[in-house]
Amino acid sequence: MEELLSKYKTVKTDDVKVWFKAASVEAFPIDGGACVKYKDLQIAVFNFSRLNMWYACQNLSPEKQEMVLSRGMLGDQKGTPKIACPLHKKTFSLETGENLNGDLDPIAIYPVKIENNFVYIGFSE
């Protein structure tokens, strides 16, 4: 299980080597999320259209090691955009990955860009 978690590491925009073309913008629900498969990774991608922002993070719940974060609910805590895990409503900042209502380890965050109506996620390998 530890190995599963260790596959997910936050990627900074500067360190992106591969921009993976995931799907068209329409494939993602407005103000909701969906899961993208990249190699053996599962990445949750969120179309936070109220904020006009896109976010991506690991799909793996760090608490229970299940692939569910993309099915969670978006929101904000005092202005910080966050995602709530559907299993036990643990919430994570979409900006830093930090667990906002507990002391779980942070989740990995990935950069997202939109070009020609396509959603791209940045990976370092």
Partner 1 sequence: MKKVIVVGNGMVGYKFCEKFVAKEGSETYKITVFGEEPRPAYDRVHLSEFFESQDAKALEMAPRSWYEENNIDLVTDVRITDIHRSKKTVTSANEKEYEYDYLVLATGSSAFVPPIKGVEKEGVFVYRTIEDLEGMLAYAVKVKAENPNARAAVLGGGLLGLEAGKAAMDMGLEPHIVEFAPKLMPRQLDSRSSQVLQLKLESIGLNIHLSKATNQILGDDGFITGMEFGEDDKLDVEMLIISAGIRPRDELGKTCDLEMGVRGGIVVNNKMQTSDSNIFAIGEVALYNQMIYGLVAPGYDMAEIAASQIMGNEEALMPAEIDMSTKLKLIGVDVASFGEPFMPASKGHSVIFENKTQHLYKRINVSLDGKSLLGGILVGDASDYNMLHQVFLNGMAIPEDPAQLILPATEGGAFGSALDLPDEAQICSCENVSKGQICGAIKDGSCEDLAGVVAATKASTSCGGCKPMVTDLVTETLKSLGKTVKNVICEHFEYSRQELYGIVKAKKLTSFNEVLDACGTGQGCETCKPVVSSIFASLYNDTPNKEDVTQDTNDKFLANIQRNGTYSVVPRIAGGEITPENLIVLGRIGKKYNLYTKITGGARIDFFGAELNDLPAIWKELIDAGFESGHAYGKSLRTVKSCVGSTWCRYGLAESISFAIELENRYKGLRSPHKIKGGVSGCIRECAEARGKDFGIIAVEGGWNLYVGGNGGATPRHAQLLAEKIDNETVIKYLDRYLVYYIQTAAPLMRTAAWLDKLEGGIEQLKKVVIEDSLNIVEDLEKEMQFLVDAYECEWKQAIENEDAKKRFNHFVNSEDRDDNLVFVPLRDQKMPKLWEKDVKGATL
List interacting residues with partner 1 (CB under 8 A). 1, 4, 22-23, 27-32, 34-37, 40, 42, 45, 48, 50-51, 60, 64-68, 71-79, 81-82, 84, 86-87, 89, 91
Q: Residue 14 CB, nearest distance to partner 1 (Å)?
A: 25
CA distance 121 to 111: 6
CB-nearer residue toward partner 1: 14 or 118: 118
Between 76 and 98, whose beta carbon lies closer to partner 1? 76
Smallest gap from residue 108 Cβ to partner 1 (A): 16
Q: CA-CA distances (angstroms) from residue 59 to 17, 35, 117?
A: 21, 7, 23
Taking alpha carbons only, the member of 5, 86, 3, 90 closest to residue 98 is: 90
**Which residues, in sequence order, are bridge partners of residue 45?**
34, 56
